[in-house]
Amino acid sequence: MTSVSHNIRMEAFLMLLLVGLPILSAYAQEKSYIPDNYELKNFKTDTAEINRLILQSQNTSTDSSIVFLQTAYKKSILAKYNYGAAQSLLGLGVMYGHSGAYDSSLNYYKRAYYYCYNCPEKQFRVLLWQDMASSYARSGNRNIAFICLYKALEEIKNNDLQNNRTLTATIYLNIATMLTADGQDNKALYYLRKAEALVKNRNIYLPLLYLNMANAYHASNIDSYLVYSKKELALGKKYGSREISMLAYFSIGDAYVDSKIPAKGIQYIDSGIALVTTSTNPVHIVQYNARLGEAYYQLGNFKRAKYFLDIAGSEGKRLGLTDDERFYIDTTLAAIYTREGNFQKALEKQQEYSKSHDSFLKAQKDSLINKLEVTYRTAEKDKEIASQLEGIKHRNSLIIVVSIIACLLVMLIVSMYFITKNRKQLQEEKILNLEQEKKITELKGMLQGEEKERKRLARELHDGIMGQLSAVKLSLSFLKRKYSVLNNANDFSEVLSNLDEAAKDLRNTAHNLMPATLSYHGLGAALHTFCDKINQSNELQIHFYMYGELPKLQSYFELSIYRIVQELIQNIIKHAKATEALLQINFFDEQLTITIEDNGSGFNTETVDKAAGLGLTNVRERISAFHGTFTIGRRNEGGTAIEIVFDTNYMKNEESYVNKSSNNG
């Protein structure tokens, strides 16, 4: 049980260090950076206001912080203020990580990548990898977290940041913490000594260092563990840190409980509980109660032990503790009930745990359940045998055997029921997936049919009607040369001019039906050309930006994206009364993000799906066909903001699926 309690303590400490330190360092500097030669007429944003919003986000609740940071990010994009965008996205990643939304947290870090690497503050690159490590570690992907931390060290070396001793020591401490959690104490001590050499004269960092040192010695040297825990406690008291003092009290108390000195352990753990506040990590509360339960169990005070273990179990269930953490609590309770002779409760407690346990310590768990069941049944039968005549012993033994066989049969029937039920659910899910695939295939077929018809119309316009118009123009030009009197005929000249304008409009219509730039130069070039043509028409000024190396995608996918953007820009021209718009294409880590914003009149988000003439239903269907996400809303400054996100990995898998199906057919 000692090793499992250590896991609980290390999980809590990982949350303190891997989430706490990014907060200390993510806002370490407040310098402004505005690129040269930038002008955006109607989007005037003060960088001081952006910095103020970022600072406000650090002194309020999580929900309010997210609102401040999202506003700061939008203003940073409009001002092309990379420093503000990097800080805002890093902050959003930290906030969502605090809330346990690790997928959202990592998504914000991925979006921050471009701005961190295009910002003069090179330490943002280190913070990006450190913060990503935090989210990966807390979501259980520790291997990826290690890679991120070593990448952070690489950025420190590549960008000559070794003189930033605090930043370097922070990365060493994070690596050591994860190594300790994985039981690699010797490797952890190597990085801790490197961190100690960097911060030994900076007392504010020593409590965290000593906390790491203590945990690294926990498994191998209990005396060193106590020495560093007491050093940690002394510094926590010196600097008035409730959090550090609380953890130190618990570490010392935990050591005494592990050493079978429960009275002293209770004394120190109670001192730690006295420092708990409303902002204390709830994981700490669970571990305190669990260890108090273990201490009272060692003292033989089963009533107090059950009280604290029940609190730890119910709170741990609410927090979603892992199987091994709940195993520690439930097995201790089972041992108490066994010592009290309450074999029924002991059996129930162990079976309650076994329902949610998958394969962790399965052999040990099954063995314990079997022993408890035999003990329980033996005790029950002893009571019956004591109250009956000696002559029915054989009958009672037979009943026991029949009961066991009946229980086994019931267990077998129940198991078969759940297996059949699971198979049925899987089959239903498979049918649902096939229906969804069929729907998507039909929609793609419809889209491809539309594009085929567009190609046909474009060819007819270009090769047929355009050719006829050219022939008419040649004939009229010949008449003008043949009859000189027509040279001064204004009506005739106007006919020729109108004919030229009609040919130009027809050529543009054919191009819009099937843009040649898209076929020959790809999506980025086609969208850039499209924006240039809109700008030349003076109907709307579009600011176009593209970040990341956009690869060559499937032709029907690129064409669909082009149509989607074309439809949304036309909506702005027709309905928004806007003078300027922003079109941004961002490709990073196989994720394609399209952002469209304007400074127009906006709309009511509750009625947008019912608005006539916006064509959003067609847009949503196209995006849904490629498993993308579509978000639309009002900008705080007025106008509309749209974000479309595609996972291009899915497109690769989809193409592979289509090819495989074609080959099998």
Higher per-residue pLDDT: 203 or 15: 203
Q: What distance lies between CA 157 and its chain's CA centroid? A: 28
Listed range (23-32, 82-91, 316-325, 393-402) with the worst mean pLDDT: 23-32
Cα gap 388→436, rounded to integer Å: 66
Looking up tokens 């899910």 gives 429
Cα gap 582→597, rounded to integer Å: 5
409: pLDDT strictly greater than 90: no
Cα gap 526→505, rounded to integer Å: 19
DSSP three-state, residue 27: coil
Cα gap 110→91, rounded to integer Å: 13
- The tens digit of pLDDT for each residue in 280-305 reads 777 777 888 888 888 898 888 888 88
617: pLDDT strictly greater than 60: yes
Cα gap 395→372, rounded to integer Å: 24
Residue 164 · residue 28 · CB < 8 Å: no
What per-residue confidence (pLDDT) applies to 28? 34
Listed range (121-135, 165-179, 602-616) with the worst mean pLDDT: 602-616
The torsion angles phi and psi of 163, rounded to 5 degrees, stand at: -70, -20
Residue 290 · residue 250 · CB < 8 Å: no
Cα gap 384→396, rounded to integer Å: 9
What per-residue confidence (pLDDT) applies to 356? 47
Listed range (95-109, 235-249, 506-520, 523-537) with the worst mean pLDDT: 506-520
* Residues 647, 651, 654: CA angle, nearest 5 degrees: 135
What per-residue confidence (pLDDT) applies to 605? 52
The closest of 81, 82, 87, 79 to 119, measured between CA atoms, is 82
What per-residue confidence (pLDDT) applies to 386? 56
Mean pLDDT of the chain: 76
The closest of 120, 123, 57, 126 to 94, measured between CA atoms, is 57
Quote the pTM value: 0.43
**Interacting residues of 572 by C-beta distance below 8 A, sequence separation 6+:** 540, 578, 581, 596, 598, 600, 640
Torsion of Cα atoms, 212 then 218 then 222 then 224, to 10°: -20
Residue 75 · residue 49 · CB < 8 Å: yes
Listed range (189-198, 223-232, 429-438, 564-573) with the worst mean pLDDT: 429-438
Cα gap 267→123, rounded to integer Å: 44
Cα gap 324→225, rounded to integer Å: 23
Q: How confident is the model over 400-418, as a mean pLDDT?
A: 87
What per-residue confidence (pLDDT) applies to 504? 67
Residue 53 · residue 69 · CB < 8 Å: yes
Most confident range (mean pLDDT) of 153-157, 184-188, 324-328 is: 153-157
Cα gap 281→12, rounded to integer Å: 8
**Strand 640-647 versus strand 629-634 pairing type:** antiparallel
The torsion angles phi and psi of 337, rounded to 5 degrees, stand at: -60, -35
Q: What distance lies between CA 192 and its chain's CA centroid? A: 29
C-alpha pair distances (Å), 523 with each of 559, 563, 565, 623, 653: 8, 11, 11, 16, 20
R_g of the chain, CA atoms, integer Å: 35
